[in-house]
Amino acid sequence: MTISAPAPAFDIKSASLDLLALVLRSTDPAQLEPALQSRFSHLSANGQSEAFVLGLEALPSLEGVDLGSLLPLMGRHGIKVVALRHPDPAQAALASRYGLGFTTGGGRSSGPIQETAAATPVAPAQEPATSLIIDRPVRAGQQIYAKGGDLVILAVVSAGAEVIADGNIHVYGPLRGRALAGARGNTSARIFTQAMEAELVSVAGVYRTIEQALPDSIRHKPTQIYLENERLVMKALHE
């Protein structure tokens, strides 16, 4: 007789969802109401709603911000706020008071930067690709992940360390650990290093462990690694 375990009541899976952020520039209802009306009439008219993250980072101060009246106002226009966003982690308390999620990051729009950008006539293009810059050695047992962009390391990546990026990986020092570029499937991602001594390299899931000594042309030398016809190519730089 076999006893089958009861089916679990839930599974936990990793999920990464896209949400729109509504970045407030004013909390004055007299200003907000008509603006929301003109922008979101399509939602409220049909009785629909959409989930938003409410970005508070562009407001000069959070004093006097009355979420108790703001949230219903947005709700009337079909905006369902699910979380707050603010660079100061202390504001998490504010979010929990209203039963909302809270995040500090995820965006790159802040007040002072906005002003210099406004001075140039360039249209605010899509979000700039975010790069993560690390200026200290990445030691054995450490793992660095640059989500959604490039990873730039200005020191050594030790054996036993792991550096991962959704974009390219640049190591301006010896690469002795593992490097995985294009972690979410970007097949055009590349790995660059000043001195190729890696244990493992991978681009978009195509990996290679390096057990045998590398050819003299790239061993301890500046090297790039990329995918060509689904094969990893390791090639000396400056050739």
Q: Which residues bind other proteins (CB under 8 A)?
A: 136-142, 155-156, 158-161, 176
Q: At its nearest, how many Å lie between other proteins and the CB of residue 209? A: 17
Check the CA dihedral 108-112-118-119 and report its sign.
negative
For other proteins, the closer CB: 169 or 195: 195
Count each helix (H run) and each strand (E run) in the chain, helices first. 4, 15
DSSP state of 19: -
For other proteins, the closer CB: 75 or 141: 141
What burial class does residue 186 get, using C-beta atoms within 10 Å of its C-beta: 0-12 exposed, 13-18 middle, 19+ buried? middle
Q: At its nearest, how many Å lie between other proteins and the CB of residue 174? A: 8
For other proteins, the closer CB: 170 or 176: 176
Q: At its nearest, how many Å lie between other proteins and the CB of residue 223? A: 18
**What are phi and psi for residue 69, nearest 5 degrees?**
-100, -25
C-alpha 118/C-alpha 22 separation (Å) is: 19
Q: At its nearest, how many Å lie between other proteins and the CB of residue 213? A: 16
For other proteins, the closer CB: 23 or 163: 163
